[in-house]
Structure 1
């Protein structure tokens, strides 16, 4: 009898924790996603301008990911990658607002096949066609990211998460802090005391707009707190994985719609009581394409053949410090501006950016539109200052005119100002990264500059 007990103890200590739970009820999942969040503003990621209390609580109660990247720094491609586990060229939404291919499956299918109810509330840009995204749409959060208000109620969410004993996966898609930055209490912030990102030009207009942006970050943080409170009130908190995602960077010059880290670098916090060690962090390299494969793994499903992403469950459970070797990036500028295709590859330190049409000027209609200077006031305040300020000139010229190759040591140069492309010490590494990037593009069916054209819209 004693030998039998010793054998059982040995088995329980060697079998992975998740496998021990396979016979128990599968965990629920709530994914709260921001909209255009500058993740460096979060206080748990070192931000100085706002104390994001509720988001920080997730970091203290779970695992913080320091190296998560979107493959395309704009809303629709990022969300399509999140849901499908595919890179943009393969899911079809490789330009903003371009629809995915209607033959695909997504997390809505994969988790439903494993016994989950899959719902979504809030921003619904990527929920069509229904055959690809079979989410149960839950009323409560504002679906339109450019709405002048962000009023929300948790009634629908509460009904969804308490409806029955079936496990659920719910995507709570906030519209904060997406422009036009019309909600939130701006009196919390003194524009003169704000610490601006180093790749910005310091102007009065910039500081005034940044105050409005941070007010919406506060709204986002409060929403995270309300969801956490609801889970506790409904006794859902013990068996629910809570994931916070930052999406891509903010709608300020040099971030969203670019492949610099200010646009591509994101945030992810995961709380999983009893499975993820609280107050931990990882430098494992992750992309949004990896999240759906991980959810499938968490739900005890088999890997789906053909996905670009891979499960990082071993990292989540503290059994590995690494996930993928490289993260890739793609940018196609139409319809947000004139053609300006960009590709990138990086590891946890070095990053190669290839501008495929460097003879052209970069232009974005939402930030640099001469006909709408009132709505593009930040950029034009920068160019005005550039006439007399050498730092402003350096920042604005860098934004418009770009070399064919950019190569950065993001560890020593996190704002990617020091281009090492011509440095002899890095030529072998640059050549290697070029080869890896070209191989990835070929595998994806990525035609490069030929991809950044205007496509006929489906009726």
Structure 2
């Protein structure tokens, strides 16, 4: 039997190249490093779409986003698509979410029984890209370079305020799990927005890097004539040339990012401390994951939306006490769609519950199979259908080789073993003709780009029309309103105060049996 409870700690825009256990010697991530030393680190983990909402939909459903239309940051997840929260509830779990998941639409739970905070991003159709005019920026919500120009320390920000709430709510959920009369095991997702831009860090974490030599990007920005079309589009998306900035700006921004990685690491440590305090540590599996990475100036690019490694690789660490080998590293490529099968296997091993028959085919495979040596799978897929492109983009990885394609763009092929910085495109190398033929056949099997294009265009049109209509007259938002009944919290006159204090305490105190009873 494995651990019964499951804690998922999710970071936003966290590249593994800025995590200590993934080889970065400058960043301070003691709690992530400890988790990796106790569990399994997946060295080639990928987002299935390098953007917040699509990546999270793949994480939640175990399916590629093209199956149900999770195209972009304003794409809604149909309520008829099951998530791991639905399946775990069927297996007897109490499921909860604290923090960001960027669900879009009226359903803001998608299987979670409890949602402890609102989301940090909007739940409506306001952020729909427009593939009819793919070369035009939507200034209202597109990224720009303000996050780089304005990077540095800050006592408080919108994002710090949010993550402080997420951390506090997650701690409370763990304490509630320990002292509740509900006998079910829990699955809790603690989802932080950091280290996502803006790159503004609390001084206590900023000061951790006072004497640190902050490295500049390894690969500089290519000349325009030497750059690939999608990178050129992303330069325009982020309006990189609208401002002037230099090496000191880049170092300051990377320092703030590293400080915010340490901030998320701090919360991981606090959550693990709470598990220890409540006697739950030995009975709780922990998964560390992110929605996508961050280019951080590599190749002159910032943020995500790219299939280069800094954007599409993510950290993924799994620790199951008494189950997963300590310090193991899995080299085979895995991705977010592998999370749902993993959670179902963990739940079955931890409780003996039967795994429900999936309503939809799952595109992933349990991460435990890789740790147990029970699979020979050596490939994964990522899709991108949002801003910065006007056609569907596809990433295929097999072994150490990575292939990307998009109608109208030159194909790309990189050998990450000999070329980890993706400097030499081997797509036209005669020696790779057979490999290119294999990847092209795989791409055709995966999807029809013209059919995907039509679906994306239709979805964008519908959502733009509806968004415009809903802005007329009285506004009724879909944003989650956390439910709270303060009349049943703390001490109230209709309660037996002694009994209530005992019920809210963990561990339970010694019995109190006064003589007057």
TM-score, scaled relative to structure 2 = 0.69
Tell me how far apart the structure 1 counterparts of residues 331 and 342 of structure 2 sit (CA, whole Å).
17
Residue 194, structure 1, aligned to residue 214, structure 2: yes
Q: How does 1:447-458 map to 2 (within 5 A)?
A: 447-453=451-457, 454-457=460-463, 458=466
Offset of residue 200 of structure 1: 4.6
CA distance in 2, matches of 1:441, 1:271: 35
Cα displacement (A) at 1:209: 1.4
Structure 1 residue aligned with 2:124: none
| 1:267 CA displacement | 1.2
The count of aligned residue pairs is: 384
Q: Are residues 1:439 and 2:445 paired?
A: yes
Partners of 2:25 and 2:357 in 1: how far apart?
41
What is the Cα deviation at residue 69 of structure 1? Answer: 0.8
Q: Is the 8 A contact 1:199 1:415 kept in 2?
A: yes
Work out the CA distance in 2 between the residues paired with 1:160 and 1:179: 32
> Residue in 2 aligned with 1:151?
164
Render the CA deviation track for 1:382-440: whole Å, top value 9, x for unaligned. xxxxxxxxxxxxxxxxxxxxxx1111001111121110111111011011111011101
Query: How far off is 1:222 after superposition?
Result: 0.1
Question: In the alignment, which residue of structure 2 is the partner of 1:379?
Answer: none
Distance 1:249 1:428, change over 3 A: same
Deviation at 1:104, TM superposition (A): 1.1
Deviations 1:138-190 (A, max 9, x none): 436x7316635332312244214542331111101011101112232322225
- 2:307 match: 259
Three-state SS of the structure 2 residue aligned to 1:328 is: strand
Whether contact under 8 Å (2:50, 2:306) holds in the other structure is yes
Q: Any residues of structure 2 matched to 1:33-44 within 5 Å, and which? A: 33-44=10-21
Residue 294 (1) aligns with residue 335 (2): no
Within 5 Å, give how 1:216-231 maps onto structure 2.
216-231=260-275
Give 1:120's match in structure 2, choosing from 97, 104, 107: 97
Distance 1:129 1:82, change over 3 A: farther
Aligned-pair CA distance for 1:314: 2.3
Alignment of 1:52-451 (within 5 A): 52-126=29-103, 129-130=106-107, 133-139=110-116, 143-144=119-120, 147=159, 149=161, 150-152=163-165, 153=168, 154-160=171-177, 162-163=179-180, 164-185=182-203, 186-190=206-210, 193-200=213-220, 203-250=247-294, 252=296, 253=301, 256-300=304-348, 301-304=355-358, 305-316=360-371, 318-320=372-374, 322=375, 324-334=377-387, 337=388, 339-358=390-409, 404-442=410-448, 447-451=451-455
Q: Offset of 1:238 from its aligned partner? A: 0.6
- On the 8 A contact 1:332/1:451 being kept in 2, the answer is no
Q: Which runs of 5+ in 1 are unaligned?
A: 1-20, 359-403
Query: CA 1:239–1:67 in 2, change beyond 3 Å: closer, same or farther?
Result: same
Partners in 1 of 2:100 and 2:408 — Cα distance?
A: 33
Higher relative contact order (CA 8 A, sep 6+): 2
Q: Deviations over 1:27-85 (max 9, x none)?
A: 11000000000211101000132121001010011111111111110110111111111
CA distance in structure 2 between the aligned counterparts of 1:240 and 1:229, rounded to whole angstroms: 12
